[in-house]
Amino acid sequence: MEISQFMGQQEHEAIENLQDKKAGPPHEALSLISAYLPLFELLAMSGVCTSLRDAVNKDVLSWLDIVVKSPLNLRLSDEILMKITSKANGRLTTLALMDCAKITDDGLQRVVERNPLIYKLYLPGCTGLTPEGVIGAVKTLSEHHHGLKSLMINGIYNINKEHLETLRPYLEKNLSQQEQSGSWPLLFHEHRDVPTFRHDKGYTTIDVEVCPKCDEVRMVFDCPRRTCKRKIGRSMSDCRGCNFCIPRCQECGGCVDDSEEVEEAVCADTLCSDCWLQLPKCDFCNKPYCKQHAHNGSCPPGSTGFVCDVCCANFNI
């Protein structure tokens, strides 16, 4: 009994001491790292306590580059976007909205009007936007001799050649600089892993162009396989086209034509023969996963390989 009373008294004194102490300001190191934190972590930190919320919200440098991606993109609306971008106090430089389907033309226009310093505008997969809304936003950002350096609009519906020609003059200065330094090839597998790589490095200014095969405005990929020219006796430009015109290997990004046997992965992605041979296979169906979906397989006890989810369902493993 004496021990329990002593422990209770110690706990009571500890609680009183904590209540007497007032929460101080966050450590000074917070200002050094907050600018490098993703948006999800910044918003989570703002909800920890009042002192952290005030510190993060008042640090303008943390909000100059807004990148919204999964899982926040599913919930982002025009009103939420306005609240987030307002923390930059009109000094926003990068706005990347990755697959944010709820953003509308009006919401985007209000943001760019309040943030005229944006020079990177990434809007891939924002299906709530229209080509006219994108053109209006680009025009607004191009006023007062401010140049938009990078634009991503792949996945926005109904963009045609006329829209692309309307956008090009606003990026003409940057396009001419790119042509002087030489273009950087767009490879399918590199874009899949890091969609903004070419734009962040300044290798390109707009992510779509007219496909030489189908004459539609889409992302046009280059072929990384140097053997194409030697094997078929054609120029590398023959392997250049959108993903609808030229099937590509999910692993290496190389073109897969009619003369080559197309291999299929468990996840239904296309693979070339070379990549198919190198990937681990399911113990039952002898099909591989591409590396992007390799986590879907399960490893049964006592096995050094894996069993795909399809075989697990079929054989009740």
The CA-CA-CA angle for residues 261, 262, 267, to 5°, reads 155
Cβ contacts of residue 17 below 8 Å, gap of 6+?
Answer: none
Instruction: Indicate the pairing of strand 209-210 with strand 217-218.
Output: antiparallel
How does pLDDT run across 225-245, given as a tens digit for each residue? 766 644 444 555 678 889 888
pLDDT band at 76 (very low <50, low <70, confident <90, very high): very high
Round to whole Å and give the CA distance between 142 and 249: 39
pTM score: 0.78
Round to whole Å and give the CA distance between 296 and 306: 10
- Give the residue, 307 or 225, on which the prediction is more confident: 307
Q: Span 268-292, mean pLDDT?
A: 88
Site of tokens 């779509």: 208
Of 77-91, 170-184, 266-280, give the lowest mean pLDDT range: 170-184
In this prediction, residue 205 carries a pLDDT of 84
In this prediction, residue 229 carries a pLDDT of 47
Domains of the chain: 64-175+183-207 (3.80.10.10)
Residue 74 has pLDDT above 80, yes or no: yes
Both tokens of 131, joined, read 């080509």
Instruction: Indicate the pairing of strand 263-264 with strand 270-271.
Output: antiparallel
Q: Span 247-266, mean pLDDT?
A: 79
pLDDT band at 48 (very low <50, low <70, confident <90, very high): confident
Are 61 and 16 in contact by the 8 Å Cβ rule? The answer is: no
Q: What percent of the chain lies above the pLDDT cut of 90?
A: 32
- Give the residue, 168 or 105, on which the prediction is more confident: 105
In this prediction, residue 261 carries a pLDDT of 65
Q: Span 23-37, mean pLDDT?
A: 66
What's the length of the chain?
317
Mean pLDDT of the chain: 80
Residue 117 has pLDDT above 80, yes or no: yes
In this prediction, residue 300 carries a pLDDT of 76
Are 96 and 120 in contact by the 8 Å Cβ rule? The answer is: yes
How does pLDDT run across 155-195, given as a tens digit for each residue? 999 999 999 999 988 886 655 554 444 467 788 877 877 78
Residue 124 has pLDDT above 70, yes or no: yes
Q: Span 81-97, mean pLDDT?
A: 93
Of 181-185, 205-209, 220-224, 243-247, give the lowest mean pLDDT range: 181-185
Q: Span 117-129, mean pLDDT?
A: 94
In this prediction, residue 16 carries a pLDDT of 54
Residue 291 has pLDDT above 50, yes or no: yes
Are 204 and 177 in contact by the 8 Å Cβ rule? The answer is: no
